[in-house]
Amino acid sequence: MDRGLFITFEGIDGCGKSTQIGLLTDWLEKRKADFVLVREPGGTPVGEKIRTILLDKENDGMSTVAELLLFEAARAQIVSERIRPALCEGRYVICDRFFDSTYAYQGVARNLGTDLVNGLNRMAAGGLEPDLTFFLDISVDESFKRRRSRAIEDDRIELLGRDFQNKVRGGYLEAAKASQRIKTVDASGTPEEIFNIIKGYITERE
Ligand code: TYD
């Protein structure tokens, strides 16, 4: 393995991203691959402050445009401070959510417009695109079941409920249809079954 890849994970809340990211990083460690793991929003001192504002339930009066711009601001920071430098050094970058989240959550579910969001995504990412994106697809019913079993308190976005998550899922399906980069992975199987599919795509790409 002598060249890094930029890999992102996407999906509605409770789709199993964290489990798959854990399996991927274990696998990369075993292969002695040099990688960086980051998450959005966050991943930098500025970005973590923005994350706190975005997810705080007390900010329920935040305008949806302010929300969109804060996600993009955190992204601009993490791309310039962490993602681009790591890729330039030939490292793998694994990102828990990236700009397809903004497409699905703000562009489609919040109805702010996909053209507008695509433009802002390009600006914040400075033209950088992931090499591979895994959209872990799960039904909204299944995701709610999993989230209940985790018993973690919902954040401001998770509190928006089933209709909202359904729209987000629709946004992801739409984005996946339009892009070869996005691999839709049925996330209803066992973690091992799902990871085998992911591993297959990565190996094919290396
Ligand atoms: P987080 O706790 O990281 O959720 P998860 O574990 O599901 O990734 O919270 C991030 C929340 O922010 C999540 O509900 C998705 C949402 N989000 C957007 O609405 N737009 C975005 O551009 C990004 C990156 C995240």
- Over residues 124-181, the pLDDT tens digits come to 999 999 999 999 999 999 998 888 887 778 888 888 899 999 999 999 999 999 999 9
- Over residues 18-39, the pLDDT tens digits come to 999 999 999 999 999 999 999 9
Q: Is the CB of 100 under 6 A from ligand 1?
A: no
Q: Is the CB of 13 under 6 A from ligand 1?
A: yes
DSSP the chain: --S--EEEEE-STTSSHHHHHHHHHHHHHHTT--EEEEESS-SSHHHHHHHHHHH-GGGTT--HHHHHHHHHHHHHHHIIIIIHHHHHTT-EEEEES-HHHHIIIIIIIS-S-HHHHHHHHHHHHTT---SEEEEEE--HHHHHHHHHHHTPPP-TTGGGHHHHHHHHHHHHHHHHHH-SSEEEEETTS-HHHHHHHHHHHHHHH-
* Phi and psi based region of residue 44 (left: phi greater than 0; alpha: psi -120 to 50; beta: remaining): beta
- What is the whole-number distance in angstroms between the Cα of residue 85 and the centre of ligand 1? 23
Q: Is the CB of 92 under 6 A from ligand 1?
A: no
Residue 184 dihedral angles phi and psi, to the nearest 5°:
-85, 120
Gyration radius of the chain's alpha carbons: 16
Q: Is the CB of 67 under 6 A from ligand 1?
A: no
How confident is the model at residue 3, as a pLDDT?
Answer: 53
* Contact status, residue 157 vs residue 13, Cβ threshold 8 Å: yes
- Over residues 185-199, the pLDDT tens digits come to 999 999 999 999 999
Residue whose CA lies nearest to ligand 1 atom number 25:
101
- Over residues 65-120, the pLDDT tens digits come to 999 999 999 999 999 999 999 999 999 999 999 999 999 999 999 999 999 999 99
Ligand 1 pocket: which of 105, 155, 167 to mutate (most atoms <8 Å of CB)?
105
Count the neighbouring beta carbons within 10 Å of the beta carbon of residue 46. 15
CATH number among 3.40.50.300, 3.40.50.880, 3.40.50.2300, 3.40.50.20, domain 6-205: 3.40.50.300
Residue whose CA lies nearest to ligand 1 atom number 19:
105
Residue type, 109: A
Residue 128 dihedral angles phi and psi, to the nearest 5°:
-70, 140
